[in-house]
Amino acid sequence: MKPIKPIKKTVAGRFPRDKIYYIFFSLAVILTGLFVSNSYYLQVLTFIGINSILALSLNMLMGYAGQVSLGHAAFYGIGAYTTAILTVHYNLSPWLALPCAIFIAIFVAFLVGIPTLKLTGFYLGMGTLGFGMIVNIIFREWTDLTGGASGFVGIPSLELGPVSFYSMRNYFYLVWAALLLSIIVCKRLVNSRIGRALRSIHDSAHAAEAVGINTRNLKIQVFVLSAAFAALAGFLYAHLVSFISPGSFDFMMSVRIVTMVVIGGMASIWGSLLGASLLTLLPEWLHAFSDFEMVVYGLILMLIMIVLPQGLTKGLIDIYERSKKKDNS
């Protein structure tokens, strides 16, 4: 009796804690949606949601599996362009286009992942960078299908039965519901056997292999999963703005996603949320600096990395704990 009890407690105590977070999160989202009536703020929050899904998807790959990708915007773009092409050129319902977009992203990720994920460290980063650039050039040059550099106009807004997502509030709910779903999927995955295997790859791929983890398959699976989430974000972005152009999915966008993850904190799901919020809001605040904007942005980026290389979430917690220790001693 006695030895079982504590185990039960930890297992039982762990899941409800996550569940409490989720409930808290949902409540916060619902309340925000109810009380924020200005659709500008709702739009900013919606963009934060989309960016959070992106950051989260990359964090699975970078933070947990330790695989750097500098071409993540490609999957974001694939999601956006697939749904745009299917809904406009082929008159498909967006809700049917979504699985297609995700499927295509998964397919591409699978094809690219097999040779690319054999690489390590910088080489992997560079491989994904090259891939991202090529996808962007395809968006730009396949004019008949993608509208080329001028962009793709007239992507329909979303509707689900009587609910129209034309209204910003509904779209906000949709995006944040998608985000919550992504968080739950990622959290469950991280806390599962696969999650532990992933972290072992992060620490040492050789050691992971030695204990019988098929690192190659696992890496490809995470890569594919992260591509799927990025495509979801792309889908949400395309139907929100209703116009997409290659410039939104270029190398700088990939870098921005990486920055969100790193600043928020690698291997931290809530950190991705923080990083995405910060990087979405930062340019809005920096407008005040006008010509100095780039300088300030670059400086902030460098400073955070120099002072808090673990990202804001972990870095701040560390600082807090250190100060607490000092107080105690």
Partner 1 sequence: MQEILQYIFSGITNGAIYAIIAVGFSLLYNSTEIINFAHGEFVMIGALSLVTLWGSFHLPLPLAFVLTIVVVSGTGLLFERFAIRTVKKPDHIVLVIITVGASIFLRGIAMLIWGKDAYSIPPFSSNPPIDIAGARLLIQSIWIIVISLLSVVALYFFYNKTLTGKAIRACAINKKAAWLTGIPSGKMVMLSFVLSIGMGAVAGLIIAPITMCSYDMGTMLGLKGFCAAMLGGLGSLWGALIGGFILGILEAMGVGFVSSSLKDAIAFVLLLLILFIRPGGIIQSKDVQRF
Partner 2 sequence: MLKTKSFKKVILLIAIIVTGCFIVSLPAMAREVYKIGGIFAVTGRASFLGDPEKKSMEMVIKTINDKGGIDGHLLKGIIYDTEGDPTKAAMAVSKLINKDKVIAIIGPSLTPTSLAVIPFVEKAKVPLISCAAGVAITQPVKPWVFKTAQSDVLAVAAVYRHMKKQGIKKIGIITVSNAFGESGKQQLQKQAAEYGIKIVRTESFGNKDTDMTAQLTKIRKAAPDAIVCWGTNPGPAVVAKNVDQLGLNIPLYQSHGVASPKFIKLAGRSAEGIYLPTGKLLVARLLPEKDIQKKALMNYINNFETKYNSSVSGFGGYAYDAMNILAKALKGTNGNKEKIRKALEGLKGHVGVTGVFNFTKEEHNGLGADAFVMVRIHNGTWELLK
**119 versus 184: smaller Cβ distance to partner 1:** 119
Phi and psi (nearest 5°) for 185? -60, -45
143 binds partner 2 (CB under 8 A): yes
Stretch that binds partner 2, among 125-133, 244-252, 259-267, 304-312 (CB under 8 A): 244-252
DSSP, res 315 = H
Stretch that binds partner 2, among 43-51, 119-127, 173-181, 198-206 (CB under 8 A): 43-51
Which two three-digit tokens encode residue 120?
């390590």
Which residues, in sequence order, are bridge partners of residue 152?
244
**SS3 category, 249:** helix
Secondary structure percentages of the chain, helix, strand, coil, to 5: 80, 0, 15
**290 versus 329: smaller Cβ distance to partner 1:** 290
**158 versus 220: smaller Cβ distance to partner 1:** 220
Amino acid (1-letter code) at residue 317: I
Q: Which does 18 bind (CB under 5 to 8 A by kind): partner 1, partner 2, none?
A: none
Which two three-digit tokens encode residue 239?
């139907």
- Among 133, 138, 194, 241, interactor with partner 2 by CB under 8 A: 241
Q: DSSP assignment of 37-69, as one string? A: --HHHHHHHHHHHHHHHHHHHHHIIIIIS----
40 binds partner 2 (CB under 8 A): yes
Radius of gyration for the chain, computed over Cα atoms and rounded to the nearest angstrom: 21
**45 versus 183: smaller Cβ distance to partner 2:** 45
The answer to whether 73 touches 259, Cβ cutoff 8 Å, is no
247 binds partner 2 (CB under 8 A): yes
CA 320-324-326 angle, 5° bins: 120
State how far the Cα of 101 lies from the Cα of 173, in Å rounded to an integer: 21
164 binds partner 2 (CB under 8 A): no
Q: Which does 306 bind (CB under 5 to 8 A by kind): partner 2, partner 1, none?
A: partner 1
**156 versus 315: smaller Cβ distance to partner 1:** 315
Q: Which does 39 bind (CB under 5 to 8 A by kind): partner 1, partner 2, none?
A: partner 2
Residues near partner 2 (CB under 8 A) are: 38-41, 43-44, 47, 140-141, 143, 148-151, 153, 166, 237, 241-245, 247-248, 283-284, 287, 290-291, 293-294
